[in-house]
Amino acid sequence: MHDTLTIAGREFGSRLLLGTGKYDTFETMREAVAASGTEIVTVAVRRIDFDAPGEDIISFLPEEVLLLPNTSGCETADEAVRSAKLARAGGLPDWVKLEVIPDPRYLLPDPVETLKAAATLVEEGFTVLPYVLPDPVLAKKLEEVGCATVMPLAAPIGSGRGLKLRDSIRIIVEQAEVPVVVDAGLGAPSHAAESMEMGADAVLVNTAIARADDPVAMAEAFRLAVEAGRTAFHAGVMEEQAPTPSSPVGGTV
């Protein structure tokens, strides 16, 4: 089945996006990236600590994978725009996972600053993938200012709680005219499968894979779950209904 994910005119064979944070080693991350089949990975941008520069993550990522710089650490629209411009000027793609998070406890994104930054970045020629609370009105507004996707969170970052906000995500999926990527809070492959069954176009996973006992096996499990969920979405998941027998009612021996 030809079922590619198209974001801003670019086609991807995989509907699983991967975060690169929290792996014990870059070698494990590289293997997990391969096992997941992902074609888009996020990276953060940070000042180099000259006392402890560490290894260069890029050398552990396959060239054909799209690097998606995020704006993590930014608490305002201005900071996020600055971070995105720095990444692009330095040669990273002009795609950005826009996240503006002023709240260190629940790590929830600021909708007002996110919308403001999104409008500016779209105007500056970026392909903008904003990370947001699943607010259907906000999702529409982000679409209107030209965002390439909307990325509603399932539950707070790193929490692994699954689709806590499924009803709101369902409305976003129903209304969106850009791809919907469920981002953050997915803890198990079943959560990813359910997101895809609901009609999400893709999911973004980091902690659930990176912190698994076996991240490489878990990356494969998420790949299979995303494929299963997507196939089920196309096949048409049944509506809940009253119990009905699956075997003939009469003729029992």
Q: Does 44 bind another protein (CB under 8 A)?
A: yes
Report 107-136 residues binding another protein (CB under 8 A). none
Piece in contact with another protein (CB under 8 A), picked from 49-57, 189-197, 224-232, 241-249:
49-57
- Note whether 31 and 214 are within 8 A (CB): no
Residue 12 CB, shortest distance to another protein, in Å, is: 18
Residues in contact with 21: Cβ distance below 8 Å, sequence separation at least 6, in sequence order? 44, 206, 207, 210
- Active-site residue 97, yes or no? yes
Q: How far is CA 171 from CA 59, 108, 248, in A?
A: 40, 20, 38
Q: Is residue 26 part of the contact set for another protein (CB under 8 A)?
A: yes
Q: Does 149 bind another protein (CB under 8 A)?
A: no
Q: Which two tokens stand for residue 108?
A: 């929830």
Instruction: Report yes or no: 125 and 96 within 8 Å, Cβ to Cβ.
Output: no
- Whole-angstrom distance, CA of residue 21 vs CA of residue 155: 18
Nearer to another protein, 127 or 206 (CB): 206
Total binding residues toward another protein, as defined by CB under 8 A: 40
**Residue from the set 5, 7, 15, 23 that interacts with another protein by CB under 8 A:** 23
Q: Which residues touch 212 (CB under 8 Å, ≥6 apart)? A: 218
Q: Residue 42 corresponds to which tokens in the numbers above?
A: 């996020």
Count other Cβ atoms within 10 Å, centred on residue 36.
24
Residues 61-90 that bind another protein (CB under 8 A): 67, 69-70, 72, 82, 85-90
Choose, by CB under 8 A, the member of 14, 20, 36, 120 that binds another protein: 20
Q: Which is nearer to another protein, 85 or 164 (CB)?
A: 85
Look up residue 5 and give its amino acid: L
**Gap between the Cα atoms of 199 and 180, Å rounded:** 8
Instruction: Single out the catalytic residue among 97, 116, 140, 141.
Output: 97
- To another protein, the closest distance from the beta carbon of 61 in angstroms equals 9
Q: Which residues bind another protein (CB under 8 A)?
A: 19-23, 26, 29, 42-50, 54, 56-59, 67, 69-70, 72, 82, 85-92, 157-158, 184, 204, 206-207
Catalytic annotation, residues: 97
